[in-house]
């Protein structure tokens, strides 16, 4: 489950006491590129969400090179929260933390082998959201990747974090040489976000999966073409 409005990347440099690092800031018609500290500026998106741009400027989306114990624990908290809030993302209730952690542990090897890219949205050292890119595809589909597990913790929604993650995963796919992305969602809100970001709606598959608490739900399939790197 995601919140926000997707936009394009703009590189932005920030200084730290130890090094200069390149961070990514998503731009859209609704979110400003840069806000001076203490500016207190807020924007209203088309969906009515109110974004505190000081908060937006503090969000950093990072590729996780490995999934260690700390990353797994933080990602598990986000996954557990999303399932408990009703997101249909392959899991059923009850959703104990260990069950969520097991998913990420099972993905760790694929991340190290470069078959999957996991991105995380950080603020103040805490992971607030995540998205994954499945690079490993059949040999006749080397140009394609799947976007999965787009998740934002309930406490961090309506800050544009989903938009940042969506832009980041598209850029990661482009750099990996992928020119076609595919995803599906059972969330009407998420479907609206993808459509706003230029994703093409293929159609709806009825009775595709179950909601976490039971009952059949449909899923909507989207794709997006990317320019070559």
Q: Is the pLDDT of residue 20 over 70?
A: no
Adjacency order of strands within the sheet including 200-210: 60-64, 116-123, 126-134, 144-152, 180-185, 216-225, 200-210
For each of the domains in the chain, give its residue range(s) and CATH number, in order of start: 8-225 (3.40.630.30)
Closest CA to 178 of 225, 120, 113: 225
| Token digits of residue 124 | 């103040």
- Rounded-to-integer distance, Cα 20 and Cα 13, Å: 7
pTM for the whole structure: 0.77
| Token digits of residue 78 | 């986000």
For residue 220, list its beta bridge partners. 185, 204
Q: Is the pLDDT of residue 175 over 90?
A: yes
Return the pLDDT at 158: 87
Q: How confident is the model at residue 170 (pLDDT cuts 50, 70, 90)?
A: very high
Work out the angle at residue 24's Cα, subtended by the Cα atoms of residues 227 and 130, and round it to the nearest 5 degrees: 90
CB atoms within 10 A of CB 206: 8
Q: How confident is the model at residue 176 (pLDDT cuts 50, 70, 90)?
A: very high
Which of 5-19, 31-45, 121-135, 194-208 bottoms out in mean pLDDT, i.e. has the lowest? 5-19
């Amino acid at each position: 489950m995601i919140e926000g409005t997707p936009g394009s990347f703009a590189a932005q440099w920030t200084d730290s006491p130890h090094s200069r690092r390149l961070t990514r800031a998503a731009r859209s018609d609704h979110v400003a590129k840069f806000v001076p500290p203490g500016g207190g500026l807020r924007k209203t998106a088309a969906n009515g969400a109110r974004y505190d741009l000081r908060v937006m400027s503090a969000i950093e989306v990072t590729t996780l090179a490995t999934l260690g114990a700390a990353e797994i624990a933080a990602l598990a908290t986000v996954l557990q929260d999303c399932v408990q809030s009703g997101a249909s993302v392959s899991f059923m209730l009850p959703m104990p933390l260990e069950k969520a952690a097991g998913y990420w542990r099972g993905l760790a090897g694929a991340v190290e082998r470069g078959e999957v890219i996991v991105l995380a949205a950080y603020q103040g050292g805490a992971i607030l959201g995540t998205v994954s890119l499945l690079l490993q595809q059949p040999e006749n589909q080397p140009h394609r990747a799947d976007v999965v597990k787009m998740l934002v913790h309930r406490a961090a929604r309506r800050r544009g974090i989903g938009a940042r993650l969506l832009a980041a995963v598209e850029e990661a796919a482009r750099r990996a040489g992928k020119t076609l992305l595919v995803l599906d969602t059972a969330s009407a809100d998420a479907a609206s976000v993808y459509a706003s970001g230029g994703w093409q709606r293929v159609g709806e598959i009825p009775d595709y999966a179950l909601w976490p608490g039971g009952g059949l739900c449909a899923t909507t399939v989207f794709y997006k073409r990317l320019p070559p790197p």
